[in-house]
Amino acid sequence: MLAEKVEQMMEWSSRRSVIRMNGDKFRRFVKAPPRNYSVIVMFTALQPQRQCSVCRQANEEYQVLANSWRYSSAFSNKLFFTVVDYDEGADVFQQLNMNSAPTFMHFPAKGKPKRADTFDLQRIGFASEQLAKWIADRTDVQIRVFRPPNYSGTIALALLVSLVGGLLYLRRNNLEFIYNKTGWAMAALCVVFAMTSGQMWNHIRGPPYAHKNPQNGQVSYIHGSSQAQFVAESHIILLHSLTPISDAAITMGMVLLNEAATSKGDVGKRRSKFLIFVFLSLILVFYSMLGFLQKS
């Protein structure tokens, strides 16, 4: 029976890198012994009526990882990638008491899955490289991820360089703006705010935009753990929290105040910049008091 199961799994793998399973196939080839191979299962909800955009994004990364393993020189019958869709295996979800998707689990060749055999998607994200690292920790199988070539970044960089080069060429006789300290200060502040914002964390971690329960369809925009967040969560904070706006305003005011103090131009312009700084400072005080009143 074991030889037949391995042969069947290898035949399915030869057709597609990720084996689709329903409840019967899952119980026979993943849960039931004997089994001398490990199985990675993605529990998901890919049907359009489920409206699970995170499931589609995770499925793309999962396909990249499975293809990297299937067409590598180290491919063997010791590891298989499978998927169970909620609409094709709702009984499996109920059997495992699973109420969220997507979820990645490792079923070892021997014994039952442990807590570490469930991938921490909410904290780590679902990038292929992170999944490959988790699989290596659980199975000792090293998978080198090969992604299809994507030239969008190269094209965007080439367009940016061309745009900057064209602008410098058109203004080749008047390049004094390059030495504008205020402009460089504003650009540096924009970079600082971008690096310290929640959006940068989203870009690095790759969390889902929101979470939708495949059973009742309820959508969660706020993560339940303090160690992770959804993309929608950072957008909500950005729209409803005035602290980042006030911080940016007071920082801009400091730049203008420094320019007014060091410049030797018109006194009226220097006074205007000072008044702008005072106005932005009052905005900061107002929002600080508003936040204090809301907490109290």
pLDDT tens, position by position, for the chain (296 residues)?
888 998 999 999 989 999 999 999 999 999 888 889 999 999 998 888 877 878 888 999 999 999 999 998 889 899 999 999 998 888 999 888 888 888 999 999 888 889 899 998 877 888 899 999 999 999 988 999 988 777 777 888 899 899 888 887 887 787 777 777 777 877 887 777 666 667 777 776 667 777 766 566 677 777 766 666 777 777 776 665 545 555 666 666 666 666 666 666 566 666 666 676 667 667 666 655 655 554 44
Domain locations in the chain as residue ranges:
1-139, 174-295
pLDDT of residue 133: 93
Distant-in-sequence, close-in-space partners of 219: CB < 8 Å, separation ≥ 6: 210, 211, 212, 213
3-class DSSP assignment, residue 109? coil
pLDDT of residue 210: 75
pTM: 0.59
What CA–CA distance (Å, rounded) separates 68 from 232?
Answer: 31
Distant-in-sequence, close-in-space partners of 92: CB < 8 Å, separation ≥ 6: 23, 26, 27, 43, 84, 98
3-class DSSP assignment, residue 51? coil
Q: Do 73 and 81 contact (CB within 8 A), yes or no?
A: no
Which two three-digit tokens encode residue 170? 């058109």
Whether CATH 3.30.350.10 fits 1-139:
no
- How far apart, in Å, are the Cα atoms of 249 and each of 188, 190, 243, 268, 292? 14, 12, 10, 22, 19
Nearest by Cα to 24 from 81, 77, 90: 90
Q: Do 58 and 37 contact (CB within 8 A), yes or no?
A: no
